[in-house]
Amino acid sequence: MNADDPLVGVDGLQVDLGGKTVLDGVDAAIDSGSFVGLVGPNGAGKTTLLRTLNGALSPASGTVTVAGERVHDLSSKAASRLVATVPQDTTVAFDFDVRTVVEMGRNPHRSRIGGWDEADTEAVERAFEWTDTDQFADRGIGTLSGGERQRVLLARALAQESPLLLLDEPTASLDINHQVRTLELVRELVSRGKTAVAAIHDLNLAAQYCDELLLLSDGDVAASGPPEAVLTEETLSGAFDANAVVSSHPVTGSVYVTALPDGRRSGSAAPTGRVHVVGGGGTAARYLHVLDAAGYEVTAGALNEGDTDTEAARSLALDVVTVDPFAGVDSEAREAVDERIAAADCVLVADVEVGAGNLPNLRAATNADSVVLVEERPFADRNFVGPEATRVYEALRARGRVVEPSAVPAAVAAAVSESAPAESSTTRPHPPSTDGGRGTDDGDR
Ligand SMILES: Nc1ncnc2c1ncn2[C@@H]1O[C@H](COP(=O)(O)OP(=O)(O)OP(=O)(O)O)[C@@H](O)[C@H]1O
């Protein structure tokens, strides 16, 4: 094997299970020192591919090579020195204590008569430390929660010290803190030279942490490459039959996928209704995309000219109220916002900093029929400038729906459908036909 060769080569892989072809001609090359996410709908073949990469399943045809060795020609011990796996199912047959389970990771390195040496002890201690599981060392594995067991099995895989680490849904039973910690740990291991392949259902976590994604659909590779090349609205619609909007995450900058409940999928009616969005500094951009794609009439503002959210609104040709860069919302802009809020079925407040700049927008939102507040950051971590800003925001919070980003489409749909029928969008006054800040230098001011 040359230094430039990929660590893992998958060539024309076909795997049959129960008389059915589950993987059908899969080709892939995985570079050493990369973190690859296996994504795809239920039943696409992700687990089957992982179990074939580690040698547990034999292909009907095709080959898998790891570090230049054909995995299926190796003894299981030799294969386990190259590939370690954290399985999806974390049940362990016997109630071993956790230390024994982690020590099992050293079996591939020990001869039948060989004893335990310093390298074994060090590998086990390092694995405990990395996964923060030494606190469980003396407990029976059966007494741990699902998430704790998953971390112990990750420790066992790390103790194996193989160049390739496979993880099947490594974050499935973990709380949000341990999801991030586990994926950060995998990234750290990868930066030290390990190669990781993980089946991950959460496309946004996969996009955030993986160097490359391999999208499986119906047992074949539908797309592969960097997350932004793989997670497109087209590929998601093809592979998942899902109507999704792809935008970029305002904080991490990585690709961000939001599935729409119904949207504009052909044959289904697009939602009707008007939504006014209050944001700023890029907090609203992705909701503008999501709501526009879902078929709502979307207005936004007041926003500063040059703001990321203003640019997003313009790129979608939305009606946006703007003020000059760095200027506050003056009375003219406030009036324009009031008109749009009066015409809206729902106002979405997108995780804004609550200070003087946005206060007039938030005051205006208190007059809305219904309010949805997206809180990506915990309420306690938000930046409130002044008691008045806090009071207004808390008033909105008390009468609005407070939701996480992924719940926005459903919350807006519920809010719009609850909006009083007599005041439905079809009978409401439309915002004035001025350009709404869209074509002039000074917007609505
Ligand atoms: N032992 C088996 N006998 C017959 N069919 C099987 C067997 N194991 C898996 N399959 C089928 O192979 C297909 C791929 O399964 P696999 O578990 O690899 O999918 P997956 O992408 O990991 O799915 P999920 O996201 O639901 O975990 C499925 O249709 C599954 O029903």
CB of 43 sitting under 6 A from ligand 1: yes
Q: Is the CB of 18 under 6 A from ligand 1?
A: yes
Could you tell me if 32 and 191 are in contact, meaning their C-beta atoms sit under 8 angstroms apart?
A: no
Nearest CA to ligand 1 atom 17: 47
* Rounded Cα distance, 82 and 71, in Å: 9
pLDDT tens digit sequence for 79-119: 999 999 998 887 777 789 999 999 999 998 876 566 788 89
Q: What is the CA radius of gyration of the chain?
A: 26
Residue 110: CB atoms within 10 A of its CB come to: 14
Q: What is the pLDDT of residue 382?
A: 65
pTM of model > 0.80 = no
For the CA of 88, the closest atom of ligand 1 is: 27
Nearest by Cα to 333 from 324, 346, 345: 324
> What is the reported pLDDT for 445?
24
Q: Beta-carbon neighbour count of residue 252 at 10 Å?
A: 12
Pairing of strands 61-66, 8-17: antiparallel
Cβ of residue 436 lying under 6 Å from some atom of ligand 1: no
Residue 355 pLDDT? 66
277, two tokens: 């969005």
From the CA of 43, how far away is ligand 1's center (Å)? Answer: 5
Of 290, 284, 291, residue with least CA distance to 345 = 291
Q: What's the CATH code, domain 8-241?
A: 3.40.50.300
CATH of domain 257-423: 3.40.50.720
Where exactly are the structural domains of the chain? 8-241, 257-423
Chain CA centroid to CA 45, Å? 20
Residue nearest to atom 13 of ligand 1 (CA): 43
Which atom of ligand 1 is the closest one to the Cα of 201? 25
Ligand 1 contacts CB of residue 48 (under 6 A):
yes
Helices (H), 135-249: 146-159, 176-191, 203-209, 227-230, 233-240
Pull the structure tokens for residue 339: 């008109």
Q: Is 37 in the pocket of ligand 1 (CB under 6 A)?
A: no
Digit-coded pLDDT (tens) for 413-441: 889 888 755 444 444 444 443 333 333 33
pLDDT at 70: 96
Kindly list the distances between the CA atom of residue 285 and the CA atoms of 65, 249, 310, 405, in Å, as whole numbers in the listed order.
44, 9, 8, 12
Choice from 13, 14, 17, 166 to test ligand 1 binding pocket (greatest atom count within 8 A of CB): 17
Tell me how long the chain is.
445
Max Cα distance, the chain (Å): 85
**DSSP 8-state class, residue 444:** T
Judge whether 399 and 371 are in contact, CB under 8 Å: yes
Distance CA 304, CA 280 (A): 8
42 within ligand 1 shell (Cβ under 6 A): yes
- Does any ligand 1 atom lie closer than 6 A to the CB of residue 45? yes
Element (H, E) at 214: strand 212-217
Identify the sign of the CA torsion 353, 354, 356, 362: positive
Q: Tell me, rounded to whole angstroms, the distance of Cα 322 from its chain centroid.
A: 31
* pLDDT value at residue 297: 93
* Cβ atoms of residues 55 and 72 within 8 Å: yes
Ligand 1 contact via 17 beta carbon (within 6 Å): yes
8-241 against 257-423: fold identical: yes
C-alpha 323 – ligand 1 centre gap (Å): 55
Residue 431 CA to its chain's centroid (Å): 36
- List 372's β-bridge partners, or say none: 348, 401
Among 421, 365, 432, CA closest to 398: 365
Q: Whose CA is nearest to atom 25 of ligand 1?
A: 42
Q: 241-249, long-range: CB within 8 Å, 24+ apart, which pairs?
A: 241/41, 245/286, 245/289, 245/290, 245/293, 245/294, 247/285, 247/286, 247/289, 247/290, 248/285, 248/286, 249/204, 249/208, 249/286
Tens of pLDDT along the chain (445 residues) come to: 677 789 999 999 999 999 999 999 999 999 999 999 999 999 999 999 999 999 999 999 999 999 999 999 999 899 999 999 998 887 777 789 999 999 999 998 876 566 788 899 999 999 999 999 999 999 999 999 888 888 999 999 999 999 999 999 988 877 888 888 889 989 989 998 899 999 999 998 999 999 999 999 999 999 999 999 999 988 988 888 877 778 777 667 788 888 776 544 444 455 679 999 999 888 888 899 889 888 899 999 899 998 888 988 988 889 999 999 888 889 999 999 999 999 999 999 987 776 667 889 999 999 998 999 998 766 666 666 677 888 888 899 898 999 988 889 889 988 988 875 544 444 444 444 333 333 333 332 2
Which residues are within 8 A (CB) of 9 and not within 5 positions of it... i.e. 6 or more apart? 28, 29, 30, 63, 64, 65
CA angle 225, 229, 230 (to 5 degrees): 70
**Closest Cα to atom 4 of ligand 1:** 18
Q: How far is the CA of 65 from the centre of ligand 1 (A)?
A: 22
* SS3 state at 167: strand
The predicted structure's pLDDT at residue 113: 60
Q: What are phi and psi of 172, to 5 degrees?
A: -60, -45
* The pLDDT value given to residue 436: 36
How far, in Å, from the CA of 23 to the mean position of ligand 1?
10
Nearest-angstrom CA–CA distance, 166 and 36: 10
Paired residues of 214 in beta bridges: 38, 224
Q: Whose CA is nearest to atom 27 of ligand 1?
A: 42
Ligand 1: which residue has its CA nearest to atom 28? 43
| pLDDT for the residue numbered 263 | 46
C-alpha 433/C-alpha 216 separation (Å) is 48
Query: 217 C-alpha to center of ligand 1: Å?
Result: 12
What span, in angstroms and rounded, lies between the C-alpha atoms of 289 and 291?
6
Q: Supply φ then ψ for residue 142, to 5 degrees.
A: -70, -15
2 lines ligand 1 (CB under 6 A): no
Beta bridge partners of 30: 8
